[in-house]
Structure formats: C-alpha cells, structure tokens
Amino acid sequence: MNYEYRQLIGGTWTDASNAGRWDVLNPATEEIVRTVPFGNGDDCRQAIEAAAAAFPSWSQKTAYERATLLKKASDLIRDRSAHLAHTTVLESGKPLLQAKGEWVVAADLFEWFAEEAKRAYGRWVPSRNVAKRQLVIHQPIGVVGLITAWNFPAYNIARAASAALASGCTVVIRPSEYTPLTAMEMVNILLEVGIDNGAVNLINGDPASMGQEMLHNEKCAKIHFTGSQRVGKLLMDGASRTVKRLSLELGGNAPVLIFPGVDLDQVAAGAIAAKFRNSGQVCIAPQRFLVHKAVAREFVDRVTIAASQLRLGDGLLPETNVGPLINSRQRNRVEQLVCESREQGAQVTLGGKRPDSQPRGYFYEPTVVTQVQPAMPLFENEIFGPVLTVSSFDRADDAIELANRTRYGLAAYVWTNDLRAAIRTAERLEFGMIGINEWTPQSTEVPFTGWKESGLGKEAGSEGLHEYLETKLISFGGTG
C-alpha cells in the first residue's frame, strides 16, 4: 500500500492549481496529521471536465463490468479496514472500533450497489393505441458532484459514490476539508482496482468556489450533498438557476419516545451507546428523549450513571469510547446550546463542560440535561454533540406532538411494549426513518431518507440507485 494524499483529476494525482495547502488536524491532539492540497473552483472545473470525458466509456460498460470493479473495491476495503480505520481516527477523532465499523459499511455499500445496478430494470408498458409500443428505460444521469460532511468521512462518500458509479455516472468527490485523508484512501482503492481514469475524481479545497463551480458548470448534471441545512439551502437556491438535480442529506433532531413498561436498564444502556456514538455527531443520533412521567426520573438516573462511566480520550486508545468533537467551532456551538438552555431553566445532571483531564483536543464531557422545554435551544436545534436531553410527557398524543414540533424529519425512535401504540405512533411521526425498540433503523439495503427540512432524495436501498438514473420513455409508432 503506497497511498497518495493528493487530488485525483483524470487519473492523475495533482496539487492544487493555486498551490494552496491545508493542514489536516487531529482533533484529539490538535497536531497536524498531514498537509494536503487545497484548491478552488479551477480544480473543480478540471475535475468536472475529466469526469465528463470519462462518462461515455464508463456509462457504456455493462452493469456487470462495473460491478466486477466495485466488488473488488469492497473486498479491498474489507482486507484493509484496519489501516483505513486508523487514518479515519487520526483526522476525525472517533474511536477505532467505530471507524472500522464505518469502513465495513462502506464496503457493504460498494458491494450492494454493484449488485443492485444489475437490476435497473426498465419496462414495456401496454399501449392504449394499437399502433404504438412504449418502452421505459433508466440511464445514468451524467457527472455527479459529491460534497460531504466530516462526521462519517468514509460512509458519507461511499453511500453516494457507490450508487453513482454502479449506475454508470462519473463522480467528482469533494470531501470535507476536515477529513480529506479518508476520501483520498478510498479513491486510491478505486484507482487500484482499475476504475477508468476520470470516472472517479477527488478535489480538496475552498467549499464555496467548488460548490459554485458544480452549480454553474453545465457538465455537472447533479450534486449530492451531505451536510447542514444552511449549506443545503444555499445549494438549492443556486440549483434553481439551472434546474440542477440535487440530493440533499441534511441534519436531524431525532426524538425518542419512551413509554412505561419497557425495560429501562436495557433502554438506558442502548440510549447511551446510540447517543454518544461519534460524540453525538451523527445526523440520526437520538437527541430529544421524551420520557413518560411515570418513568422519567428513573430513566434520568440510569442514563446519568451510565454516561458518567464513558471514557473520553484519543480514539486510538483501546479504552476510549467517546472521542473529541471535530473542531473548536463545533465545540463552541455545543457549549453555547447547553449554556443558553441552562439559563432558561434546563438542569444539567452530568457534564456540561470541557473535561479537565483533556487540556488538548476538542473534547466536551458526556452531558445529560433534563427539564428541557420546547422553546429551548437544546430542543430546537440539532446539537451534533455529546449531549443527551430529557423532557417528560403525560399523554401519548402530547409526546407525538412534541416529537413532530421540529423542522427536521430524519430519524425517530419509539420504545414501547404495546404493539398498537408502536404502530400508531410510528404512523403519526413525521420522520423518514423510525426505529421501534431499536437504535439502528438504517442499513445498506433499505432507503435512508429525511422528511421536511432534513433533505431531498434517498440513499441506500434500491431507491438509492434511482437517485443517479434518469427515466426515459421511448415510444415506437407505426407498429400496428
């Protein structure tokens, strides 16, 4: 393995056209991990040109030929997951076991879409006119620009790139500038298995000018974006000028409805694992725990004790189960949300500050906050940090109303032993993914999708493939 940590444009490793450089920092130590190219819209334009030049031959390969290459990539990722995860920990700070798991899912995605693209079936539709025959087919959309977030630096890219490449699209990957190394390792593997030069391109650099280039360049047919609502809305504004296709995977503010009668020890243990995974920097992280009054006190006691036993530290240390936040800006945001909610009456039962034990790195203590009310910042905003909030409710209808009182609509969780309540609650929640008595509703083979302002489009599952395909009707006349 001799990986390159540069931009990849048209099969050639390049530095930035403006010679810009960027220091990738380890969020656990604030030390430089590596310095990489940091370009701008010019690099993006070159990458789009290369992807457009590669499109005719890549899209004309059969789905079986593309699948062979993508399957090889998934095998290599599995073989090298230890090395790959190590790189991801260095730049993201997440615990090693979580980084390994993320790469395994990335491998699953390449394998899944390699297979799924073989089933991009069209159909003959019976005509109402005897002299006509009607055929509906699906064709790759063209060059896709991928702009992704740092929280899952391998998964976020794999989820879109695997589907796009399998369907016959070519891609320009623009990872978060905080985690470009993971992306660079991924494209090294794609190049190594023999994917056409130019089918996969990677650029790193100025987000705004690269985003603008993707928006305005006619050769870029679609943008896939994973990130904040703020930037998602900017892209949507820009896309309106060219009717650019968009997939937007934006933030979440997941409610967790806990009804009486459940095994509180089990729910609290699972809640801690789900909430503090990746230091809470997960779009589907359980955030607003809405707990029935009869069990709220007991639940708070249990999660406070369990969260106090979490070990904060460098993700490479085997004992660590919570790492740092990605950068100081993210930590400041979390601090501010906790501080303002506290001023409005929320009670902190654990944490609520930077740890004295970690003077370096962007750490924030695992935190539990109770008596959180709907108007408080911790209820209204996506926290994206290691903060578990608890509010209580009396009637199921109130819990559902509280749960839906958000502009987000990504994931929601329900814990109950009552089948009728489970079904009726799930049906009334305005969210794209509902976990009933479980914390991981998302999986490679099912759609990942947000309602309301959590996004547009679907990833993974069979639906994920169709985000990268256009539908075409071919109508034959004179066949009567």
Catalytic residue among 49, 283, 382, 459: 283
142's tokens? 């063209």
Q: Which is nearer to ligand NAD, 93 or 455 (CB)?
A: 455
Residue 147 lies near ligand NAD (rule: CB under 6 A): yes
Residue 205 lies near ligand NAD (rule: CB under 6 A): no
Residue 384 lies near ligand NAD (rule: CB under 6 A): yes
Catalytic residue among 185, 213, 249, 459: 249
CA distance 15 to 20: 8
Binding to ligand NAD (CB under 6 A) within 407-426 occurs at 410
**Cβ atoms within 10 A of the Cβ of 404, count?**
16
Q: State the nearest-atom distance from the C-beta of 105 to ligand NAD, in Å.
A: 13
CA distance 265 to 187: 43
List 131, 135, 208, 273, residue binding ligand NAD (CB under 6 A): 208
Q: Which is nearer to ligand NAD, 33 or 234 (CB)?
A: 234
List 231, 290, 400, 411, residue binding ligand NAD (CB under 6 A): 231
Q: What is the DSSP letter of 179?
A: S
Residue 227 lies near ligand NAD (rule: CB under 6 A): yes
Q: Which stretch binds ligand NAD (CB under 6 A): 182-190, 207-215, 257-265, 334-342?
A: 207-215
Q: Judge whether 102 and 449 are in contact, CB under 8 Å.
A: no
E strand or H helix that includes residue 414: strand 411-415
With a CB cutoff of 8 Å and minimum separation 6, the contacts of 84 are 77, 99, 103, 154, 182, 185
End-to-end CA separation in angstroms for the chain: 61
Q: Give the x-and-dash track for 148-187 against ligand NAD (CB under 6 A).
A: xxxxx---x-------------------xx----------
Residue 111 lies near ligand NAD (rule: CB under 6 A): no
E strand or H helix that includes residue 436: strand 433-436
Q: State the nearest-atom distance from the C-beta of 231 to ligand NAD, in Å.
A: 4
By residue count, the chain amounts to: 480
Q: Judge whether 221 and 141 are in contact, CB under 8 Å.
A: yes
Q: Which stretch binds ligand NAD (CB under 6 A): 9-17, 56-64, 226-234, 315-323?
A: 226-234
CA distance 321 to 343: 30
283 catalytic residue (yes or no): yes
Residue 260 lies near ligand NAD (rule: CB under 6 A): no
Look-up: residue for tokens 């025959």? 133
Residue 382 lies near ligand NAD (rule: CB under 6 A): yes
Residue 37 lies near ligand NAD (rule: CB under 6 A): no
CA distance 155 to 173: 13
Q: State the nearest-atom distance from the C-beta of 123 to ligand NAD, in Å.
A: 30
249 catalytic residue (yes or no): yes
CA distance 162 to 9: 18
Q: State the nearest-atom distance from the C-beta of 283 to ligand NAD, in Å.
A: 3
With a CB cutoff of 8 Å and minimum separation 6, the contacts of 207 are 147, 174, 177, 231
Residue 283 lies near ligand NAD (rule: CB under 6 A): yes
DSSP states of 417-466: S-HHHHHHHHHH---SEEEES-S----TTS-EE-EETTEESEESHHHHHH
Residues labelled catalytic: 249, 283
Which residues would be at the binding site for ligand NAD (CB under 6 A)?
A: 147-152, 156, 176-177, 207-208, 211, 226-228, 231, 234, 249-252, 283, 382, 384, 410, 450, 455
